[in-house]
Chains A and B, each alone.
Chain A
Amino acid sequence: MEEIISQIFQVGFFAAIIRIATPFVFATIGELFAERSGVLNLGIEGIMMFGAMTGFSTAYFTSSLWLGILAAMLTGMLMAALMGFLTVSLGLSQHVSGIGITMLSTGFAFFFYRLIFGQPSTLPNIKAFTPVGIPVLKDIPWIGPVLFEQTTLTYLAFAVVPLAAFLLYKTPWGLNLRTVGENPHAADSAGVSVSAMRYQGLIISGALMGIAGAFLVMVQFNAFTFGVISGRGWICIALVVFGQWGPWKSAAGALLFAMIDALQLRLQASSIIDLPYQVFLMMPFVLTIVTMMLVSRNARAPSALLIPFRKEER
């Protein structure tokens, strides 16, 4: 037992948690913006996939990782705007629209990847982002290598959390967004455009989901594969519920989840426990369901979530 512990709990393990948490933080905070405005964005899985694909392709051809990130962001914003057209402008079912956006985005990602790269015998790859140590801080024992020798994207992800908290709770814009998600009629009477706020919430969500997808191909793996997202988006939906629709708690959920994921990777590699690797791959999904079971009963979603808003219907 002691051997297991010493094998797992090393500096590298904690650094891995932070790295693994990064895409979950981006996408979860993204989903949070959409849901606080009253729209459940189930397009998340597909948007991450499409963002990963456009991000990868752009980085591949321009040799600029940051242009890739930009492309992924724009892709996410575009698909989220389409989600807004369906659910906000037309008031269609958020559940089915979201599944539609995911299927469409995934289809686009596969189609364009095959169109651009064909079926090469070796997987096209890019030079991934490398960690950037922050001077002085990185020399702090333990904490330095864990927190301050990460990629720039990871620093950005953890900067997004306080930024989201500030925007949501400390600005008039955030108050409007939250009111639209809780009581759209009140917001409307106060002269706030419900649809404008919901579009904004969605487009922010799309941008962050796009970056999350791009992170996976630009840091975690340095190539695009059709299994690159494999359910991570759906887990983020659960993380928002776990985090009670708050940015800090949701990010904490992402970290907790990343710890489980890092643990399963270590256990899988260490051969301490002799189980088929699929059992480890399954673990995050099972744990997510169990967590949802524990928290959902007391969870209080934004009141207007899933309900389309039409001015004339009261």
Chain B
Amino acid sequence: MAFRLELREKTPIWFNIVLPLSAVMATLLLCSGLVALAGANVFHAYSELFLSAVSSRFNLVETFVKAAPLIFTGLAVAVAFRAKFWNIGAEGQLLAGAMAAAYIGGIESLPSFSLVPLMIIASALAGAGWAMLPAILRTRFKVDDVVTTLLLNFVMFYVMTALLDGPWKDPLSGYPDSPDIRMDAEFPILLHATRLHLGVLLSLLAAPMVWWFIRRTTLGFSISVVGENPSASAYAGISITRILIYTALISGSLAGLAGAGEVGGLHFQVMSGISPGYGYTGIVIAMLARLNPIGVVLAALFFAVVVTGAEAMSRATGVPVYLADVIQGTALVTMLIAQLFTTYRIRTLTTQG
């Protein structure tokens, strides 16, 4: 008996659920080895990792709060990867958005009612502007976008910390933090006695909007065509350069919005640790979601649970909190492998042929 890989014509729809689930299962199985190595009971550690997030109403809401920036960065990457615009720069674009939101939110002369909408718009513009740079570099100068988006993350981080250490430092704080935004600039809380803020709602609304954009608009369709078959798109009269620039603008603004929520809804200022790598986690989320915007919400919730649960797990069992990082990397790799089943099927060949 022999096996061979065969090209598949159509991907069955249930693959969208089965593949990510198998990837997650495989990831947890593989990582259980590390948990055991750390001397903890695997079931105990995993129940701490997953159950603390749903153990109370407050924690459940908190999971959604944590998921909000991940939904935005996940969507940002999903849109970009559809066009094969390799935006690894959601991290820097998020920081740009956060700074724009905090800046607008601190302007005394603006009327109170305009603050929140202006912060949201400014963060999207800042993220889009920062994403434009690698898009222009790729389309005009043929510079690999992976490298530039990665490098620009470092540039934006140092721009931010330079400002926070210098001209933008809160004079009342001993830390490199920006001054607090105005009270009127704080995002409204949607559920009493929780931190469920406007940004969370926006992230949940953004997902179906992006879905609609990709499926139902010409531009959204063109993005996928450019990604899947650039030569055909050129033949069909689609300008690849133009589509890539639009993709970068949309992707960047989504990542920028992640920053607005963190500033307006949670921290009310910018500090150097405002993003613990949300932009990079967004890559894993987008891949796990198979670049589907609705899937992004589910994958983001999963990683919100993992990232917050890791701390509870670490406290209870002593397993290093960095298990969350290993889980992210492993999930990306296992999902990539699982993706193979969408393009290929395994055929068993009998000796008779």
B147→A107 contact, CB < 8 A: no
Whether a CB of chain A sits under 8 angstroms from the CB of B37 is yes
For B142, list chain A residues within 8 Å (CB). 296-297, 299
Check: A130 CB closer than 8 A to any chain B CB.
Answer: no
A106-B159 in contact (CB<8A): no
Stretch of A61-69, A133-141, A234-242 lying at the B interface: A234-242
Measured between beta carbons, the chain A residues less than 8 angstroms from B166 are 276
Residues in B with CB closer than 8 Å to A269 are none
Contact B165 A99, beta carbon cutoff 8 Å: no
Judged by a CB distance under 8 angstroms, whether A293 is at the interface is yes
Question: Shortest Cβ distance from A24 into chain B, in angstroms?
Answer: 15
CB neighbours of A78 from chain B (8 A) = none
Total of A-B residue pairs, C-beta within 8 Å: 132
| B321 contacts partner chain A, Cβ-Cβ < 8 Å | yes
Q: Is the interface of A mostly helix, strand, loop or mixed?
A: helix
B154 touches which of A46, A86, A95, A285 (Cβ 8 Å): A285
Contact with B along A69-97 (1 / 0, CB 8 A): 00000000000001000100010110111
Q: How far is the CB of A290 from chain B (nearest CB, A)?
A: 10
**Contact of B137 with A100 in the complex, beta carbons under 8 Å:** no
- CB 8 Å contact bits of B160-183 with A (1 = contact, 0 = none): 011001100000000000000000
Shortest CB distance B78–A (Å)? 13
Interface size on B, residues (CB 8 A): 44
Q: Is B235 an interface residue (CB 8 A)?
A: no
Bound together, the chains give a CA A42 to CA B142 distance in angstroms of: 18
Instruction: Write out the residue numbers on chain A whose beta carbons fall within 8 Å of the beta carbon of B144.
Output: 237, 241, 292, 296
Query: Does the CB pair B339–A92 fall under 8 Å?
Result: yes
Does A252 belong to the interface (CB within 8 Å)? no
Known A-B contacts A278-B159, A281-B158, A296-B142; the reply to A100 vs B86 at CB < 8 A is no
Contact B329 A100 (CB under 8 A): yes
Task: Write the chain A residue with the least CB distance to B152.
Answer: A289
A288 close to B34 (CB less than 8 A)? no
Interface residues of B in 320-344 (CB under 8 A from A): 320-323, 325-330, 332-333, 336-337, 339-340
From B146, B155, B323, give the contact of A42 (CB < 8 A): B146
Q: Is B280 located at the chain interface by the 8 A CB criterion?
A: yes
- A261-309 with Cβ < 8 A to chain B: 276, 278-279, 281-282, 285-286, 288-289, 292-293, 296-297, 299
Contact A104 B162 (CB under 8 A): no
Checking B34, B146, B151 against A289 with a beta-carbon cut-off of 8 angstroms, the contacting residue is B151
A282's contact among B37, B88, B137, B158, by CB below 8 Å, is which?
B158
Docked pose: A136 CA to B323 CA in angstroms: 52
Tell me the complex Cα distance, A308–B5, Å.
15
CB-CB under 8 A for A110 and B325, given A92-B337, A292-B137, A296-B143: yes
With known contacts A99-B88, A230-B154, A107–B325 Cβ distance under 8 A: yes
The answer to whether B137 and A97 touch across the interface, beta carbons within 8 angstroms, is no
Q: Nearest A residue to B86 by beta-carbon distance?
A: A95
> What B residues does A276 contact at CB under 8 A?
162, 165-166
* A166 within 8 Å of B (CB atoms): no
Are the CB atoms of A288 and B287 closer together than 8 Å? no
The interface residues of chain B lying within 8 Å CB-to-CB of A285 are 151-152, 154-155, 158
6 more contacts with CB within 8 A, not counting A104-B326, A278-B161, A292-B144, are A92-B336, A235-B151, A237-B144, A238-B147, A278-B159, A296-B142
Q: Which residues of B contact A (CB under 8 A)?
A: 34, 37-38, 86, 88, 137, 141-144, 146-148, 150-152, 154-155, 158-159, 161-162, 165-166, 280, 283-284, 287, 320-323, 325-330, 332-333, 336-337, 339-340
Residues of A within 8 A of B (CB): 42, 46, 82, 86, 90, 92-93, 95-108, 110-111, 114-115, 230-231, 234-235, 237-238, 241, 276, 278-279, 281-282, 285-286, 288-289, 292-293, 296-297, 299
